[in-house]
């Protein structure tokens, strides 16, 4: 084999060797690239899983807080119902006591006289008409003028109306002109004092609850 042939063979071997080296390098780079891709993909999957877990935790926390708030609102509503039930029971007891007061005629008459005097002083010395319930009308009609003099003075004129008042006790006073009216029936007194009674009852019953005052609508 001549020198030219030897050189050609040597060149072929060199080219082949270089090609094998390049192929090996490309293979190594390919494996490295593949490994990097796999690693990056795993990291991305892990990051996505962590985000999903975090989102699920946040959602679970929100759901828990929602349930806690709903439970607290339910408990508060139940407490309010119980408190109002207690207040209503006390108000019912007050009405019962007033009913018992009416049955005690001696005590009731003292209260009636004091209330009549107070009413006249509030309205002023004008001509008035009194409306009573049927029982009081029958019981007081005979001595009405004397009762008025004893309670309010001889200059006060209060005519006793034959028109009965639908009430459990007390009276309504109306001016003869019809421009003034004072409702001092038991029902009228309770209605005017209702908010104040509720406030006092709440303060007595619940002022120490959690160290806070209780607010009501009524």
Class of the 105-195 domain?
Answer: alpha beta
Buried b / exposed e along 21-35 (16+ C-beta atoms within 10 A): eeeeeeeeeeeeeee
Q: Do 125 and 156 form a contact (C-beta atoms < 8 A)?
A: yes
* 3-class state of residue 49 by DSSP: helix
* 3-class state of residue 171 by DSSP: strand
Q: Tens of pLDDT along 170-202? A: 999 998 888 889 999 998 888 887 777 767 776
- Average pLDDT over every residue of 82-104: 73
Domain ranges of the chain: 1-103, 105-195
Q: Tens of pLDDT along 144-177? A: 999 999 999 888 899 999 999 999 899 999 988 8
């Amino acid at each position: 084999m001549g020198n030219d042939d030897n050189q050609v063979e040597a060149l072929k071997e060199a080219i082949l060797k270089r090609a094998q080296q390049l192929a090996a390098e490309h293979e190594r780079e390919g494996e490295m690239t593949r490994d990097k891709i796999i690693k990056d993909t795993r990291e991305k999957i892990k990051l996505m899983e962590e985000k999903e877990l975090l989102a699920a935790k946040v959602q679970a926390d929100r759901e828990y807080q929602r349930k806690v708030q709903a439970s607290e609102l339910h408990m508060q509503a139940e407490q309010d119902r119980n408190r109002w039930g207690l207040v209503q029971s006390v108000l019912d007891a007050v009405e019962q006591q007033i009913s018992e007061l009416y049955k005690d005629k001696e005590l009731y008459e003292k209260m009636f006289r004091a209330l009549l005097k107070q009413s006249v002083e509030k309205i002023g010395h004008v001509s008035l008409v009194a409306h009573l319930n049927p029982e009081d009308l029958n019981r007081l009609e005979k001595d009405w003028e004397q009762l008025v003099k004893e309670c309010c003075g001889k200059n006060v004129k209060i005519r006793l109306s034959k028109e009965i008042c639908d009430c459990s006790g007390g009276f309504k006073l109306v001016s003869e002109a019809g421009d003034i009216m004072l409702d001092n029936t038991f029902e009228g007194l309770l209605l005017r004092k209702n908010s104040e009674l509720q406030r006092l009852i709440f303060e007595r019953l619940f002022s120490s609850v959690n160290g806070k005052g209780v607010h009501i609508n009524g």
